[in-house]
Chain A
Amino acid sequence: DAGITQSPRHKVTETGTPVTLRCHQTENHRYMYWYRQDPGHGLRLIHYSYGVKDTDKGEVSDGYSVSRSKTEDFLLTLESATSSQTSVYFCAISDRRNSNQPQHFGDGTRLSIL
């Protein structure tokens, strides 16, 4: 298994509170991604990073911010959580230096916003 650790694995919080999810990798991969997974939808990209301090938005980035201060860590922050952000969040990594490569996923964080 790819060395990807997501924390926390489960979290319940209230609307309006800030939430930070962490993704830690031990593979030294350049690319890191945050997705959300909801019933009836495929994985949807929130934000991704192509290097330290280099990030970009995905298709569902509203209400989320990210930071990457070290190669191994990619943080996802919900500044003021809303019920619509209740979801399962997955971090993924890839190393695409030379050709297309698959993304490898962590085991997810199940987030409930009450």
Chain B
Amino acid sequence: GESVGLHLPTLSVQEGDNSIINCAYSNSASDYFIWYKQESGKGPQFIIDIRSNMDKRQGQRVTVLLNKTVKHLSLQIAATQPGDSAVYFCAETAGNQFYFGTGTSLTVIP
């Protein structure tokens, strides 16, 4: 089966600093990746995605980097705000089925 995991289960950052959340994946055939944000008591919310033919994609305050050589994905959040506190997890797919990581809990310290 697939193996999607995160390097760190928790991350604390000061408000205004940048955050980096990492994700490792094992299937070299995966061709599409997504980052989700999940707040307490809510469903996962789509943040940003990237296809395997790209190395980097930017959104509003977020950037996703994909390193296919080492099968690594990262999410960078610029100028982290208290509202960014949540669990973040990555997902990958090589076909119809998505595989989800267990998540990193981000805490923003005011």
Contact = CB atoms under 8 A, between A and B. Distances in A.
Nearest to B9: A40
Contacts, number: 48
B102 interface: yes
A44 B25 CA distance: 16
Interface in A31-64: 40-45, 48, 50, 58-59
Given A45-B97, A100-B51, A100-B93, A40 B102 contact: yes
B101 A42 contact: yes
Interface of B: 1, 4, 31-32, 34, 36, 41-46, 49, 51, 89, 91, 93, 96-103
- Is chain B's binding surface mostly helix, strand, loop or mixed? strand
- Is chain A's binding surface mostly helix, strand, loop or mixed? loop
Contacts of A4: 43
Contacts of A44: 100
Interface residues of A, number: 21
A50 B49 CA distance: 22
30 contacts: A4-B43, A40-B102, A41-B102, A42-B4, A42-B89, A42-B100, A42-B101, A42-B102, A42-B103, A43-B44, A43-B91, A43-B98, A43-B100, A44-B100, A45-B98, A58-B97, A90-B43, A96-B96, A100-B32, A100-B49, A100-B93, A102-B49, A103-B34, A103-B91, A105-B43, A105-B44, A106-B43, A107-B43, A108-B41, A108-B43
